[in-house]
Amino acid sequence: MSLRCCATLLAGLFLTVAAYGQGQPKADPSRGQQISGQVCAACHGADGNSPLAPNPILAGQHAEYTQKQLANFKAQGGKPAERPSAIMAGMVASLSADDMRHLGAYFESQKPRPRAARDAELVKLGQSIYRGGILAKGVAACSACHGPNGAGMPAQFPRLAGQFSEYTAAQLKAFRSGERANDPNRTMRALAEKLSDREIAAVAEYISGLR
């Protein structure tokens, strides 16, 4: 992938995600906490530190990204959801756009618990891909967008550090198959399509240990 192509993709992604945080009243984390207790806590934990690998850790995630994902789970304007999920569709059905903003602000304010990777061999391969990409396949380094420590960039790229390896791998495979397609300009699909199962597992394992 050329630098010019990367720049074009990243610019489009920034504009799409950033739009969710512009021209809106300030979000209220305390209101988000109330909504979370009613809608989110059972699966994602009271503070967004999910106890179960299939359910992503939301604590510390950038507010704009969480807001966008919640909006994408909801069918709107007679159109199907951009990110189909039978479970999440039910969860967001009664949420307003303001509710989603409040939830994003609440989870962003929570502290993610540190986690550790478990497979040293996978971590070694995952570190290589995350930091340097795979030149032979035209795969860009994950760190270029998500940062060297997986912190991401507010209003642009999500936080990945400490996420369950099982969840990260599942999302990369969903991007690869096209099952998940709510990435602006096909940024994630274009990368995931080039990754093997082992490469996906390695990147996911490495990310799980980032702090």
**CA angle 171–174–175, rounded 5-degree value:** 90
Amino acid at 119: D
89-119: pLDDT as tens digits? 999 999 999 999 999 999 999 999 999 999 9
State the Cα–Cα distance between residues 152 and 146, nearest whole angstrom: 4
21-78: pLDDT as tens digits? 556 789 999 999 999 999 999 999 999 999 999 999 999 999 999 999 999 999 999 9
pLDDT band at 151; cut points 50, 70, 90 = very high
